[in-house]
Structures are given as C-alpha cells and as structure tokens.
Amino acid sequence: MFKIIRSDMDAAFGRDPAVRSRLEIVLCYPGFHAVVFHRLAHGLWRRRWYLLGRFISAVGRFLTGIEIHPGAVIGSGFFIDHGMGVVIGETSVVGNDVTLYHDVTLGGISPAEDSGSQVDCKRHPTLHDDVIVGSGTQILGPITVGRGARVGANSVVLKDVAPGATMVGIPAKPVGLPAAGQRPGHFDAYGTPSDEIPDPVARYVDTLVDQVKALGARVEKLEGRLERQAESLPTPSGRRPGPRTNA
C-alpha cells in the first residue's frame, strides 16, 4: 500500500508544475489526501468491513470535498488536481497513471431490471491507463475510455472512447488531433492539448451551411432550366411566348 501511495505522490510531483516539494503534497494537496483515504477505505471494503470503509470514505469526503466510493478500484499513479467536486462511483475502475481535474464525475446508471443484483452490476465507467479527464467532465455509465485518451473540459461522455482519442463537446465527439499514444511522455493539462482544437459542433454547422449553399445553387440552376423550357414551348395559338415583361 505504501508503495502505491508513493506512486500517487510521484504522480502529483510530476504532473503539477506548481509543486515545490513532496512535503507540500503531503500537507497541502486535497487530491492526494482523498486518494490516501480511499486506499485505506478500499482495503477495509475488500475485507468486507463495509460500514467502516464507508465511514472512512465519508471522512475523506468531509475533509477534501472529493467523494470516492470505497468499492471503486483505482490503480497506481493516480492524481486528482485541485479536486473539489470529484465523484467516483462504486463500480468505477481506474487504471494506472490516470489524471482527473475538479468537478469530474464517473457516474453510474440505474441497472436494468434483468441485470440481476444491483450490488454485482457494473454501472460506472472504466478508465484505462494514462487517461486525462478535464474539469467539469461527466463520464456516465458502464463505458470504457481507452488507454491514453484525453477528454476535454466540460464534456459529457456517454459512449466508449477509443484508445488515444481526444474527446470534446456535449455529447463528446472525437476531434482530429494526433492520438496521445503517438506523443510519448506528453502531458495535456485538463485533457486539452494546446493545439488549436476544432469545435465539433461548429464543424458540423459549417458542413450544414455548405450543403445549404450547394442546394441553393442547384435550385437556382434547375429554376433557370425550367424557365428556358417554358419559353420554348408553343402556345395554344401555335406561337411561342415572347419574353416576359412587367406591366
């Protein structure tokens, strides 16, 4: 356990440029404190000391503003930056070297009626190794976020995320940026690379505008063709109509 806690401390030291010493992490980082409380509560939970595990978890929530259910499984090198408002549900699974920012929710959904016991039902997300989740993001349901994926701030993720993808928006959609796995050792703060990120909603709106313009041009072309055909048709008197004039 102490080895894992040390890896959590190393994660904070390596990913937050504001850190000046390990003692500062121990004394001043609520995200680190919350993870330590969780390690203890999860150990009790695994030994079926459920009430004591929940109590330790509640104490950690009261002191840090971060709620981690003792049943959640969290790997080593886990870092919660700032942290206030983070919620991690009971059946969440978090891999190694994962980073979350404040107001992130790994939330669950109500199990289906035919899914059996609610206790054994997987209701919360699974985050693989090296995932970064930006502030205000909601990841909901038993979905999977692949290794090395980035989720930008204030996104809502409702479907599986491919490894190395960068997701933004509501609902979250992939943007055309290099996969995180292609940039070894690179850390994207808040899950948002510093490169220019195209807004997926704006991109779709631009596409719709282009389609409307193309359809408008086709309609004008067809109207012109119909007018020319109408002018070439003979009248009942056998004479072709002359050009239209305004009275």
Average pLDDT value over all residues in the chain: 83
The answer to whether 97 touches 80, Cβ cutoff 8 Å, is no
Q: Is 152 exposed, middle or buried (0-12, 13-18, 19+ CB in 10 A)?
A: buried
Render pLDDT for 34-56 as a digit per residue (tens, 0 to 9).
999 999 999 999 999 999 999 99
Q: Which helix (H) or strand (E) holds 126?
A: strand 126-127
* C-alpha span between 148 and 164 (Å, rounded): 5
Q: What percent of the chain has pLDDT over 90?
A: 45
Nearest to 197 by CA among 175, 227, 178, 223: 175
Instruction: Give the gyration radius of the chain's Cα atoms.
Output: 28
- pLDDT reported for residue 233: 73
Which of these, 183, 68, 84, lies nearest to 130 by C-alpha position? Answer: 183
pLDDT band at 11 (very low <50, low <70, confident <90, very high): confident
Tokens of 118: 């609610």
* Sole residue written with tokens 């292609």: 182
Backbone φ and ψ of 39, nearest 5°: -55, -45
pLDDT score recorded for residue 226: 84
**What predicted TM-score, i.e. pTM, was given to this entire model?**
0.71
Which helix or strand (DSSP H or E) is residue 92 part of? none
| Domain locations along the chain | 2-195, 199-247
Confidence of residue 99 (pLDDT cuts 50, 70, 90): very high
Confidence of residue 196 (pLDDT cuts 50, 70, 90): low
CATH architecture of the domain covering 2-195:
3 Solenoid (2.160)
pLDDT at 181: 45
> 88 or 207: whose pLDDT is higher?
88
Classify 98 as helix, strand or coil: coil
pLDDT-derived band of residue 225, with 50, 70 and 90 as boundaries?
A: confident
